[in-house]
Structure formats: C-alpha cells, structure tokens
Chains A and B, each alone.
Chain A
Amino acid sequence: MLAVLALLQQVGFADLLVFVVAGATVLAGALGVVLSRNPVHAALSLVVTLFGVAILFVSEQAQFLAVVQVIVYAGAIVVLFLFVIMLLGVDKSEAIEAEPLTAQRPVAILLGLLLLAELGLLAGVHFGHIADPALQPGINAVDTHQQNVAQLAQVIFTRYLFPFEATSVLLVIAVVGAVVLARRPDSVGRAEHEMEEVST
C-alpha cells in the first residue's frame, strides 16, 4: 500500500491507473490459462493476457508492437489454438485433480516460488542500481522525435536485415513442415498410386 502511494506521488494518476488495470488483466488472464479445466477457457484467458500486454506496450511507447501483438497473437495464434482444440474435440474438461506423478504439483510450485524469488532478486538488484550508467540511455539511444514505427523500421531494415530475411526462410520452413505434418499417411499412398497411374 505504501509502495503504491509512493508510486502515486511520482507518476501521474492516469498512467498508474493504466498500469494497474492492465497488470491486473494480465495476471488474471495468466492465472486463468493455468487454472481453467477447459482448454477453450484457457485459450480465451490467453487472449485476455495478450490484450493486457498490448496495453502495457502502448504505455511503454511501443505502439507498433502493440498493434502487431493484437493482430498476430490474438488474431492468428489464439485462433489457431481454438481451431486445433475444436478440430480434435478435446474441449472437454480435464481431470485436474488426477495426479499421475507423485508430488509433481508441490515440487512444481516449489520450483516456481524459487524462480520467482530469483527473478525478484534480479529485479531488486536492478532497482538498486537504477543510476547505473549501463542502464541509462546510451550510444544506441535513438532520436525520440521520430515515430516508433520509423525507428523500428530503420533498425530492422539496416542492422537486422539479415535476421529479418532469415525469419522469412523460417516461416517458409514452418509452413512446409505444417503441410507435411498435416498430410494423412493414406493420402500419401493414394497420391503415389495416382502418380503411377498417370505415368503408365
């Protein structure tokens, strides 16, 4: 509570409100993904989280990424998830109480708490050295008069041009892989049979 009040004095009320609402949305969605029994509900909770992250992107001056986040993640990836869930007919509830491995859940939660402590420690160290010259705007700082899209485009199409082209190759490979995986084995046999018929 005191931390929230201290934060309120530093920043404007609107910014804090945006952060708190979007952060609560993100956390609620994340918990929904993990805790909901029905995979469809988990996918919809994932959409909630992704929208919250997009709002946080906007409040951190990453407008292009916020738009891409909504289009690619919420528009494509989650729809793909829902398609697969409904295609496979696994949208029935999972027996979440069943525990095939003994003590898997306590150990997982323990490991999670350990991870959280570790990350919190790192964030705390980062807090402590906020005046560290390595964490100040440095030589890579860009001209802030430019728009976010222009800044990002300049970096991606100059410095990261080769990785950018490599991602296009990656996407082509992924598409080819998905098509190969989606082919039924019997249809492969039939296609070969048809090819033999055509050749004879």
Chain B
Amino acid sequence: MTAFAAALATAVPDHAQTVSSGPYLVLAALVFTIGAVGLLVRRNVLVMFMCVELMLNAVNLSFVTFARQLGDVNGQAAVFFVLVVAAAEVVVGLGIIVAIFRRRRGATADDLHILHG
C-alpha cells in the first residue's frame, strides 16, 4: 500500500500548477449542503446514515484543501482520525439499526420515538 501511494506521488509532480483552493471549498460546501438536506428530508434511517457520511466527506475534502494550501500535513492527520472515527461510528450505528429493526419491521425515523425496549 505504501509503495502504491509512493507511485501515485511520483505520478503527480509537486511543481504542477493545480486548481486553487477556492473551487475545492465550494465543492465541499455543496456536498455538505446536499448531505444536510438529505439528512433532514429522508425518512429511511440507513439513508440518513449515508447522508452523514456525505457530510463527513465534505469536511475531509476541505481539510485536505487547507492542508495543501498551508503546506501543512496536520490537516491530513485530522482526516486520518476522522476516517477512524467514522468507521467506529458506522459499526455502532448499524448495530443499533439492526437491533431496532429486529424489534419492529420497517422502522423509519418516525417510528423511533421511544428509547426503551
């Protein structure tokens, strides 16, 4: 995996003039907004979860953009931790969803107003 990333790095020369940070940030804002609206609009819990993932990805994209602009790898380290936390979040969240679906079929977010069993 490391060798593959290094091969990718050599494929993209450092001195290449690249697209500036602005368009990347606008794209991240658009994806974040789409995710937020989807989270508010959709009723299916699984799709709502996917919208949360969209928002996390938008934030990751802006982290990486600022990391490139500042020449600072700390932003990429933040994305690394976001990835780990997102993985843990999905594991626990899907476990909860499976447990809920086992109790009652066809649960949408409307049916989930009780917390006790």
Contacts and interface: CB of A to CB of B under 8 A. Distances in A.
A60 B24 contact: yes
Interface in A124-140: 126-127, 130, 135-138, 140
A191 interface: no
A61 B68 contact: yes
From A19, A63, A109, name the one whose CB has the most chain B CB atoms within 10 angstroms: A63
A38 B22 CA distance: 34
A73 B38 CA distance: 19
Contacts of B74: 140, 155, 159
B55 to A, nearest CB: 10
A111 B36 CA distance: 9
B33 A116 contact: yes
Contact of B87 (A72, A85, A94, A116): A72
Given A60-B24, A135-B70, A147-B9, A53 B57 contact: yes
- The number of chain A residues touching the other chain, given as a range, is 35 or more
A187 B46 CA distance: 26
Contacts of B94: 80-81, 84, 178
Given A26-B31, A43-B50, A88 B98 contact: yes
B6 interface: yes
Nearest to A141: B71
Tell me whether chain A's interface is mostly helix, strand or loop, or mixed: helix
Chain B, interface residues (CB within 8 Å), range:
35 or more
A155 B77 contact: yes
B114 interface: no
A142 B14 contact: no
B48 to A, nearest CB: 10
Nearest to A137: B71
Interface in A57-85: 57-69, 71-73, 76-77, 80-81, 84-85
Interface of A: 7, 10-12, 15-16, 19, 23, 26-27, 30-31, 33-34, 39, 42-43, 46, 49-50, 53, 56-69, 71-73, 76-77, 80-81, 84-85, 87-88, 90, 94, 98, 100, 104-105, 107-109, 111-113, 115-116, 119-120, 122-123, 126-127, 130, 135-138, 140-142, 144, 147-149, 151-152, 155-156, 159-160, 163, 167, 170-171, 173-175, 177-178, 181-182, 184
9 contacts: A94-B43, A112-B40, A120-B29, A127-B22, A140-B71, A140-B74, A142-B71, A170-B84, A178-B94
Interface of B: 1-2, 4-6, 8-9, 12, 14, 16-27, 29-38, 40-44, 46-47, 49-51, 53-54, 57, 60-61, 64-65, 67-74, 76-77, 79-81, 83-92, 94-99, 101-102, 106, 110
Considering the complex of A and B, which 7 residue pairs feature the smallest CB-CB distances, nearest first?
A: A34-B38, A108-B40, A137-B71, A181-B95, A112-B37, A119-B29, A174-B88
